[in-house]
Copies of this chain bind each other. A is one copy, B any other.
Amino acid sequence: MPSEFELIARYFVQRNEGESTGVALGAGDDCALLVPSSGQQLAVSVDTSVVDVHFPAQAPAWAVGYRALAVSLSDLAAMGARARWCTMAVTLPEADEAWIEAFSQGFHALCAESGISLVGGDVTRGGLSISVTVHGEVPAGAALCRNGGKAGDIVAVTGPLGGGHGGLVAWQQGMRDLADPLLSRYLLPKPRLSAGLVLRGLANCAIDISDGLLADLNHLCEASHLGAELDMERLPLATGLEDLLGGEGARHAALCGGDDYELLFSLPEAFLTEAQRRLRECSLDLWPIGRLHAGAGITGVDEIAASGWQHFPGGAS
């Protein structure tokens, strides 16, 4: 296996210095040097993807690289931040170089798609895991926090749910075609960065659905000191989910399955039309699924559908 230096130089360095990228000095020195924009706050988050916990060992390397960045970018999306810079720490067993090349290409592909610059990395020997720290920018006071929900707000999501869990099940059943709508939801999630940007000024609170709808709605409710009433009839289900899991299984996956990476947010009813218009411009929908109210807890969910959600695999890490 080539040395750390060779691997970094060959696969993980982007030449990205420039005024538009805000990179004064890229990878290759002790630190990268970045130029924050005036009047903006820096939004920072880190996520680790571990083999056989967050993705299967046999997943295509390209998808592993893409997905490791996607789950971190999803946190910037949920904050309404513009993606700027990231660092990646990857721990690798004695992997073959073809795997590393495909992995880095998946990572770089999403860098290009999302406009983020890779500015630092570390490559070490060990069990396969990838930690990505992302940096975004958001005007002071404009970030979409979890604690801003208001009683009476509409609760909505940016897309159909349950696909992350459905894709995992499809993978376990032997599906390997990344064009499959469920498998692609699981292995190639799309961080909703443009949704986060256009919801600024409209949404009162937001989170990305990584732990499952009920778990993440619960985070919003607790932070906002409110309760929520869900309308199960309006819950959008991922394409193909009912065929794969049946009606009850599909609703359970939409409520409790993790890894959907759609945004979950609340907004005043008066902003609903404008939010729908803006999201449509990003080729996204807005699905109202309930309402916040004074009180606590989540109602409107039948117990069977929600049973066991606290110990559901998607919520484990």
Q: Please choose the segment from A33-41, A57-65, A159-167, A293-301 that sits at the chain B interface, where 4 or more of its residues have CB less than 8 A away.
A: A33-41
Q: Which residues of B contact A53 (CB under 8 A)?
A: 124-126
B31, B51, B223: the one contacting A44 at CB < 8 Å is B31
Q: Which residues of chain B come closer than 8 Å to A317, judged between CB atoms?
A: 4, 123-125
**Interface check A47, CB cutoff 8 A:** yes
| CB-based contact B33/A41 at 8 Å | yes
Q: Is the CB of A47 within 8 A of B89?
A: yes
**Is A45 at the interface (CB under 8 A from chain B)?**
yes
Contacts of A145 in B (CB 8 A): 25, 29
Residues of B contacting A3 with CB < 8 Å? 316
The number of chain A residues touching the other chain, given as a range, is 35 or more
A-side interface mostly = strand
- Alpha-carbon separation in the docked complex, A211 to B54 (Å): 32
CB distance from A258 to the nearest CB of B (A): 12
A30-B206, A34-B42 known; 6 other A-B pairs, CB under 8 Å? A3-B316, A24-B140, A36-B36, A46-B122, A50-B124, A53-B125
Known contacts: A31-B81, A138-B33, A208-B30. The answer to whether A48 contacts B124 by CB under 8 A is yes
Residues of A within 8 A of B (CB): 3-4, 24-25, 28-36, 38, 40-48, 50-51, 53-54, 75-76, 78-79, 81, 85, 87-89, 91, 119-127, 129, 131, 133, 135-136, 138, 140, 143, 145-147, 206-208, 223, 316-317
A129 & B124 in contact (Cβ 8 Å cutoff): yes
In contact, A87 and B124 (Cβ under 8 angstroms):
no
Could you jot down 9 A-B contacts, CB within 8 Å? Answer: A30-B75, A30-B208, A32-B43, A33-B79, A33-B143, A36-B40, A38-B38, A51-B126, A124-B129
Chain B residues with CB below 8 A from A123, complex form: 317
Asked whether A46 and B88 contact (CB < 8 A) given A30-B208, A35-B41, A125-B317, the answer is yes
Across the A-B interface, the 8 shortest Cβ-Cβ residue pairs: A31-B43, A89-B131, A36-B36, A30-B78, A131-B131, A34-B42, A127-B127, A133-B133
